[in-house]
């Protein structure tokens, strides 16, 4: 056996595509069959391990993270060395069969990898990812938030209403009367050792046990939860509500490369309490918060002020804060580390 230190890249690649109304009366992304999804996920190099649904949303737990499917929106979040961009063309073909010819929004985002050199093409670097996306979507725009030589977060998003490789698919700027939409992500590293030790098979047998023990079930208590504890360690959960809200948490507990991600589209006009509860649950040494909100969202006008408030009221030191105005979304990016780490 070669003497290679054990490592797992917890940092996820997050891909979200929203379509305009279907041209077919029964068009719905949830008509896509389990077999078709399994086939599509082969390109990503991951598998479905569990599944829950309600009238608004289907939630798949994957061998590497999660997939959420609602009528017009598809979200794929995968960690490790998966290759989510490789399933894009197949996704667009499947969507077209459901009458989805018009894309309203695309977001591809991720934090900088801890070990970028182990990723596979087209994920060997953000420029390679952008080049790949540009072969499918012309005129996408790519951003790097945070310090590009230190910790950062990459985003690729659309701005122009046309498609190069798939000429029958049209991309349009979302109108201002779109449904309210918001997404919060909290990406945590250097987590508390004792808390992380719970997310192992040596301590618990099932996901359900550790969900309750850790307090994950109290973060957004209304959620119907599907959880999974990996062997020997690692944890994933999806939660869904009837109104289409979801949450998802993925945990890489190993001390040397601990990583926890929290994501939800829950509609709040103040994310301060939610952030506090997530941070108290996992006790990271540093974390990034991103909040997307469209013009119809409760969070749109207030998120900047709320963020400032959070920083003032807590013991965290905000090392970076940026916001971006996109055609239909505002984005807030903020990075925190323990105030104690401040070097004099």
Q: Which residues are annotated as a binding site for substrate?
A: 8, 64, 230, 254
Select the span of 44-52, 70-78, 133-141, 254-262 touching a copy of itself (CB under 8 A): 133-141
> Which phi and psi (to 5°) does residue 338 adopt?
-55, 135
Looking up tokens 């390109």 gives 43
Angstrom distance (rounded) from CA 59 to CA 39:
17
Query: Helix 126-136 crosses helix 88-97 at what angle (to 10 degrees)?
Result: 30
Q: Which stretch binds a copy of itself (CB under 8 A): 124-132, 181-189, 192-200, 270-278?
A: 124-132
| Closest distance of CB 325 from a copy of itself, Å | 4
CB under 8 Å to 33, separation ≥6 — which residues? Answer: none
- Applying CB under 8 A, does 134 fall inside the site for a copy of itself? yes
Residue whose CB is less far from a copy of itself, 97 or 150: 150
What's the min distance (Å) between Cβ of 287 and a copy of itself? 17
Of the residues 141, 164, 193, 203, which one makes contact with a copy of itself according to CB under 8 A = 141
| 109 is an active site residue | no
Instruction: Please give the Cα distance from 159 to 174 (Å, whole number).
Output: 10
142 contacts a copy of itself (rule: CB under 8 A): yes
Q: Is 250 a catalytic residue?
A: yes
Closest CA to 171 of 181, 179, 180, 161: 161
Helix (H), strand (E) at residue 183: strand 182-189
Question: Which of 3, 149, 205, 312 lies at the binding interface for a copy of itself (CB under 8 A)?
Answer: 149
Catalytic residue among 63, 70, 104, 236: 236
- Smallest gap from residue 150 Cβ to a copy of itself (A): 7
Specify the long-range contacts of residues 229-235, CB closer than 8 Å, at least 24 apart.
Answer: 229/199, 229/200, 229/201, 229/204, 229/205, 230/201, 231/201, 232/200, 232/201, 232/202, 233/199, 233/200, 233/201, 233/202, 234/8, 234/199, 235/199, 235/207, 235/210
Mark whether 6 is an active-site residue. Answer: no
Residues 334, 275: contact at Cβ < 8 Å?
no
Contact 248, 185 (CB under 8 A): no
Contact flag: residue 143 with a copy of itself (CB under 8 A) = yes
User: Which position among 162, 179, 255, 301 is part of the footprint of a copy of itself (CB under 8 A)?
Assistant: 162
Q: Which is nearer to a copy of itself, 74 or 126 (CB)?
A: 126
Min separation Cβ 106 and a copy of itself, Å = 14
Site size toward a copy of itself (CB under 8 A) is 28
Touching a copy of itself, residues 174-193 (CB under 8 A): none
Does the active-site annotation cover 236? Answer: yes
343 binds a copy of itself (CB under 8 A): yes
> 83 and 64 in contact (C-beta within 8 Å)?
no
| Least distance (Å) between residue 98 CB and a copy of itself | 26
Q: Which of residues 276-335 bind a copy of itself (CB under 8 A)?
A: 318-325
Interface residue with a copy of itself among 42, 118, 120, 150 (CB under 8 A) is 150
Q: 209, 256, 263: which is closest to 235 by C-alpha? A: 209
Which of 70, 214, 233, 250 is labelled catalytic? 250
Q: Is 272 left (phi over 0), alpha (psi -120 to 50) or beta?
A: alpha
Residue 58 beta carbon to a copy of itself: minimum distance, rounded to whole angstroms: 33
Give me 303's structure tokens.
Answer: 């998120």
In the block, which residue shows the tokens 């207030």? 302
Residues that bind a copy of itself (CB under 8 A): 126-127, 130, 134, 140-144, 146-150, 159-162, 318-325, 343-344
Which amino acids are annotated catalytic? 65, 79, 236, 250
């Amino acid at each position: 056996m070669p003497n290679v230190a054990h490592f797992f890249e917890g940092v996820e690649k997050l891909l979200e595509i929203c379509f305009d109304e279907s041209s077919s009366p029964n068009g719905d992304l949830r008509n896509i069959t389990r077999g078709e999804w399994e086939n599509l996920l082969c390109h990503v190099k991951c598998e479905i391990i569990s599944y829950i649904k309600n009238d608004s949303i289907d939630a798949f737990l994957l061998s590497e993270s999660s997939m959420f499917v609602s009528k017009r929106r598809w979200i794929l979040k995968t960690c490790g060395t998966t290759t989510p961009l490789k399933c894009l063309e197949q996704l667009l073909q499947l969507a077209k069969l459901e009458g989805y010819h018009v894309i309203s929004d695309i977001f591809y985002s991720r934090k900088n990898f801890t070990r970028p050199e182990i990723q596979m093409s087209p994920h060997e670097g953000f420029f390679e990812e952008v080049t790949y996306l540009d072969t499918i979507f012309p005129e996408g725009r790519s951003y790097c938030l945070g310090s590009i030589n230190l910790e950062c977060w990459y985003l690729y998003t659309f701005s122009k209403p046309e498609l190069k490789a798939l000429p029958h698919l049209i991309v349009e700027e979302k109108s201002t009367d779109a449904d309210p939409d918001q997404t919060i992500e909290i990406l945590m590293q250097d987590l508390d050792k004792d808390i992380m030790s719970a997310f192992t098979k040596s301590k618990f047998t099932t996901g359900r046990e550790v969900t309750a023990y850790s307090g994950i079930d109290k973060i957004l208590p209304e959620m119907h939860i599907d959880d999974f504890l990996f062997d020997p360690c690692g944890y994933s959960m999806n939660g869904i509500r009837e109104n289409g809200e979801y949450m998802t948490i993925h945990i890489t507990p190993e001390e040397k490369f601990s990583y926890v991600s929290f994501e939800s589209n829950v509609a709040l006009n103040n994310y301060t309490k939610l952030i506090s509860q997530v941070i108290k649950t996992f006790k990271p040494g540093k974390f990034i918060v991103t909040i997307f909100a469209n013009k119809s969202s409760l969070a749109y006008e207030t998120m900047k002020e709320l963020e400032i408030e959070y920083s003032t009221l807590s013991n965290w030191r905000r090392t970076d804060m940026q916001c971006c105005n996109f055609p239909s979304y505002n984005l807030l990016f903020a990075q925190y580390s323990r105030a104690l780490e401040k070097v004099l």
